[in-house]
């Protein structure tokens, strides 16, 4: 978390957020990278997740757009940790900080299952990969019917910011060429839409049968194949394997991912090439 945000985040802000959703929270956060994340409990002893987003990271409209999309897919059967209303029946509660900035509080159901931590997990294997692909396909099938919003970025807006910050001119030129190639791809309802964009094992739990996905903070308009590519990327990122071993694993994993994905949605063969 940025130092300027840490300076204005107080126990009083956390207390007000918890009160707005009528929950009690653990003082130690589950995470504090881009948002403050706390485990919470309701009167029924049910587990929840309370999130506080600073206005320097997202506007209120952006958070509301994220949660509206999340609520939509949850109501249409997606396995996600859905958002819950506050006592005032709002998905987002605005809490002022001492420097005239804001924190936007929101509450979510707690995802069942557990995080799968790489190949050392007993779940690591084809059944898990197939469930991973199916969960992604389900979200893509549902997003095709979701109304367009102006308050979530496109992949191009996200990536342009990263490319512009590159210091190596040669790398920047290569990245610009790749972006031009991607921009030339067709934008169609069946292959492009609002999606999670970051479905790695840190953003879902698995119970041995199905995934429950959470953290839609990076939801943006992108090509559907991106979500599948991210699975391959994160699956081999921290492995000690050789380049050949990584390529071999990725090819086999993609076959199983695609099998699960196509239970819900289909992409043309050309997207997998």
Q: What is the pLDDT of residues 124-168, one digit of tens each?
A: 999 999 999 999 999 999 999 999 999 999 999 989 989 999 999
| DSSP code per residue over 195-218 | E-----GGGEEE-SS-EEE---TT
CA atoms of 32 and 89, how far apart (whole Å)? 26
Cβ proximity of 24 and 40 under 8 Å:
yes
**What CATH number belongs to 3-109?**
3.30.200.20
Q: CA angle 212-23-48, nearest 5°?
A: 10
DSSP 249: H
pLDDT at residue 34, as a whole number = 85
User: What tokens appear for 229 in the block?
Assistant: 């590519």
pTM, entire model: 0.93
Residue 104 confidence class, pLDDT cut points 50, 70, 90: very high
Calculate mean pLDDT across residues 54-80.
97
CA atoms of 92 and 83, how far apart (whole Å)? 9
Of 82, 99, 118, 97, the closest CA to residue 36 belongs to: 97
Query: Where exactly are the structural domains of the chain?
Result: 3-109, 118-272
* C-alpha count within 13 angstroms, C-beta hemisphere, residue 271: 20
User: What tokens appear for 150 in the block?
Assistant: 């102006």
- Say which CATH topology domain 118-272 has: Transferase(Phosphotransferase); domain 1 (1.10.510)
pLDDT at residue 193, as a whole number = 98
Calculate mean pLDDT across residues 27-51.
92
Residue 261 confidence class, pLDDT cut points 50, 70, 90: very high
Helix, strand or coil, per DSSP, at residue 60: helix
Cβ proximity of 249 and 227 under 8 Å:
no
pLDDT at residue 1, as a whole number = 63
> For the segment 203-246, what is each residue's pLDDT rounded down to a tens digit?
999 999 999 999 999 999 999 999 999 999 999 998 999 999 99
- Tell me which residue has tokens 């990278």: 33
């Amino acid at each position: 978390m940025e130092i300027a945000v840490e300076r204005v985040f107080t126990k009083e802000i956390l207390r007000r957020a918890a009160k707005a959703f009528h929950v009690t929270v653990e003082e130690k956060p589950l995470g504090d990278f881009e948002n403050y994340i706390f485990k919470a409990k309701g009167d029924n002893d049910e587990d929840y997740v309370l999130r506080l987003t600073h206005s320097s990271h997202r506007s209120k409209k952006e958070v509301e757009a994220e949660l509206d999309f999340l609520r939509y897919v949850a109501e249409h059967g997606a396995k996600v940790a859905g958002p819950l209303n506050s006592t005032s029946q709002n998905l987002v509660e605005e809490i002022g900080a001492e420097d005239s900035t804001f924190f936007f509080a929101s509450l979510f159901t707690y995802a069942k299952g557990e995080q799968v931590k790489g190949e050392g997990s007993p779940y690591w294997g084809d059944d898990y990969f197939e469930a991973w692909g199916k969960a992604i396909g389900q979200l893509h099938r549902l997003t095709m019917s979701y109304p367009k919003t102006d308050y979530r970025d496109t992949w191009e807006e996200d990536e342009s910011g990263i490319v512009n910050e590159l210091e190596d001119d040669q790398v920047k030129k290569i990245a610009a060429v790749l972006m031009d190639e991607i921009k030339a791809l067709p934008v169609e309802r069946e292959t492009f839409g609002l999606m999670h964009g970051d479905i790695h094992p840190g953003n879902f739990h698995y119970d041995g049968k199905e995934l429950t996905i959470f953290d839609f903070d990076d939801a943006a308009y992108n090509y559907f194949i991106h979500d599948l590519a991210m699975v391959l990327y994160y699956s081999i990122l921290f492995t000690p394997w050789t380049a050949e071993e990584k390529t071999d694993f990725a090819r086999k994993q993609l076959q199983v991912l695609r099998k699960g994905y196509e239970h819900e949605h289909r992409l043309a063969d050309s997207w997998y090439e």
